Amino acid sequence: MAPLFSALPKALLACALVAVAVPAAANPQLASVPGARTNMAILEPFEIQGSEMPFPHQVTVALPASYDAAADRSYPVLWVLDSPMMLRAVTGILDILVLGNHSPEMIVIGVGSAPEEGLAGVGRRVVDFSPPGEGYAPTGLGGEVFHSIAPIPEFPHKADAFLAMLVDELRPRIVEAYRTSGEHALFGHSAGGMFAGYALMSRPEAFDKMIIGSPFMDGVDGAVFTTEERFAASHDDLPVSIFLGAGSAELDEDFLAVSGIVASTAAFSRRLHLRNYPSLELTTRIYEGEDHYTVVPQLLTDAIPALWSDEAAALGSSWPERTKDGTAD
């Protein structure tokens, strides 16, 4: 290493050292842990067969950068649906946010089909995510047009069984195997967002936080809204923090417009605001110019710092303040 460094111009060497030092100094989560990685470790996936599910699912665990080096730390858990499509995006964005103190470190659990199954495996998600009901289409005129565009044959609706698999069967295994803090959050997009909405209203105690992106809330003849009405009839509070979002360009894409993505996102947000639940924390964003896909990184980049803002603020305050001459107070 010495010959290489001695060959570098002094100015270039100084810049290189600064570039190495700044990220560490900016992040007490990692800088305070000797031997911490620079990014999350994605482990070898394993398979689970839910007791009421007709097919298995692949589970992928991603551990925080400091996990192996900080044996005394425990971490919140972020559950990610549609793992083969979403897991790498979530861990990549989380790595950057953690580096900048915009998020605490988390354990990420991705659940979905095996990537090698391709679109055939992804297609089974409608079984996982569909609440009890008839068909898959939205209500009213949207449903009529939906059927003409995308006729879907009858299939089992297993949202209850899938939720039970996540919470009652898989979660105990995760809690036993890894150092979890007890806080659990769920990220679902599109049909996964419909499932997240259904999970919120059918088992509100299951998750402390939710990131819901471009949800198909009108799906299965508006089953999420029906479930919300039943919940509201018997509950006067909803102690969950939610970040809900969609892209404005979804209004102008025919199939997404027919599916009511933006309209049902707004309707769901309005419904929750009207209930006036005292413990509910709800943030809703419609992202100008973003479509069903480009909205995902925007949503995650905003939602994670918003939902974990207190933890992020505490992380920032844990690093020593610097005086004007650059020394620590």
pLDDT in tens, 177-199: 999 999 999 999 999 999 999 99
Q: What are the two backbone dihedrals, phi and then psi, of residue 194, each rounded to the nearest 5 degrees? A: -60, -45
Each residue's pLDDT tens digit, 119-143 = 888 889 999 999 999 899 888 778 7
Task: Return the bridge partners of 243, or none.
Answer: 211, 283
Burial of residue 205 (CB within 10 Å: 0-12, 13-18, 19+) is exposed
C-alpha to C-alpha distance for 242 and 159, rounded to whole angstroms: 20
Confidence category of residue 153, pLDDT binned at 50, 70, 90: confident
State in Å, rounded, how far the first CA of the chain is from the last one.
Answer: 35
* Residues whose CB is less than 8 angstroms from the CB of residue 112 and which lie 6 or more positions away in sequence, other chains included: 57, 58, 81, 82, 83, 84, 85, 86, 121, 122, 125
C-alpha to C-alpha distance for 130 and 199, rounded to whole angstroms: 11
- Residue 93, pLDDT > 80, answer yes
Lowest mean pLDDT across 13-27, 108-122, 178-192, 224-238: 13-27
* DSSP run (H or E) holding 107: strand 107-112
Show the tokens assigned to 163. 């939720």
CB atoms within 10 A of CB 319: 16
**What pLDDT is recorded for position 142?**
80
213 and 188 Cβ atoms separated by less than 8 Å: yes
- Residue 19, pLDDT > 60, answer no
Burial state string for 152-188 with b = 16 or more CB within 10 A and e = fewer than 16:
eeeeebbbbbbbbbbbebbbeebeeebebeebbbbbb
Higher pLDDT, 96 or 20: 96
Task: Return the bridge partners of 62, or none.
Answer: 42, 108
Domains of the chain, start order:
35-317 (3.40.50.1820)
* pTM (2 d.p.): 0.88
Q: At what angle do helices 295-307 and 309-317 cross, to 10 degrees?
A: 70
Lowest mean pLDDT across 49-53, 121-125, 230-234, 310-314: 310-314
Mean pLDDT in the chain?
88
- Going by their DSSP bridges, the two strands 57-63 and 107-112 should be labelled as antiparallel
Query: Residue 266, CB half-sphere, CA atoms under 13 Å: how many?
Result: 9
74 and 179 Cβ atoms separated by less than 8 Å: yes
C-alpha to C-alpha distance for 280 and 199, rounded to whole angstroms: 15
C-alpha to C-alpha distance for 122 and 189, rounded to whole angstroms: 13
